[in-house]
Amino acid sequence: MTYGIIGTGAIGGYYGAKLAHAGKDVHFLLHRDYDFVMNNGLQVNSCDGDFILEKVNAYNSTANMPKCDVVMVSLKSVNNHLLPTLLPPLLKTGTLVLLIQNGIGVEQDVEKMLPGIQLAAGLAFICSAKTDPGVVNHQCYGSINIGNYSCTDKELLATLLSDLAEAGVTAAEVEYYEARWRKAVWNMPFNGMTVALNTRTDLLLQNPSTRQLIYDQMHEVITAAHACGAPNLDYSFADKMIQMTDEMTPYSPSMKLDYDFHRPMEIHYLYTRPLEIARENGARMHKLEMLEAELRFLEASIF
């Protein structure tokens, strides 16, 4: 299979490099890092073992890339308006576009932009960052769940899962809608709270007041998920996420890094859309509505 990576950052760079390191045919779109990667390769510093791709199929335009069987999109969702231009050169009949992006509602909006496209959600459980050109720093975890949104080719999905497994990535197919809400249980509290309080995940949980607030926010997300059609998401999942984060390497989520580097934050799909969808279904996430307002204020202060 031929893979295309749109967004060679902390997430796309990691999964694409793992596939390429395992001998898969992977093609990377790069922007600022293009010259560096062409000259120096793509480095992955990982808790599972460091490696470097010395020869990278790197491009600075999708117009020069081959047609792909699977395109992994790990752009920040604030750049999704670029997809109607970026994706068509890579698409052929049956191409699967895997959106490894945060939030709720991304597949629905991409489908409106590109009717008939085959989509799946990639739910990455990983601590990874890219702060230097051509270098991905993988701190811990690394699994990915695949939620099928509109792909009719079951064999293609099975091959994708098999290729990821061969590359050393734990991957599983899951029910799409519930998986999106499961990811939101962690993302909505921790991404915004690390920005609003200028802190890290571990420090939020070490303080009894913010630990309780995180827990309450997780329960708001689970209640909203029930109202929106994901009844199997149990409240005990919040305890599991708290325990997982207690055991995690101290971490600044992607939104915190975006804020620190004065980049637009993914407020729309991480907060605005799920809050809207919850309200439409009779559920209010009051604490997270307040957090969204705080994030909007902070973003306005840097742009």
User: Which residues are catalytic, by number?
Assistant: 183
Strand 25-29, strand 58-59: pairing = parallel
Tokens of 283: 């559920």
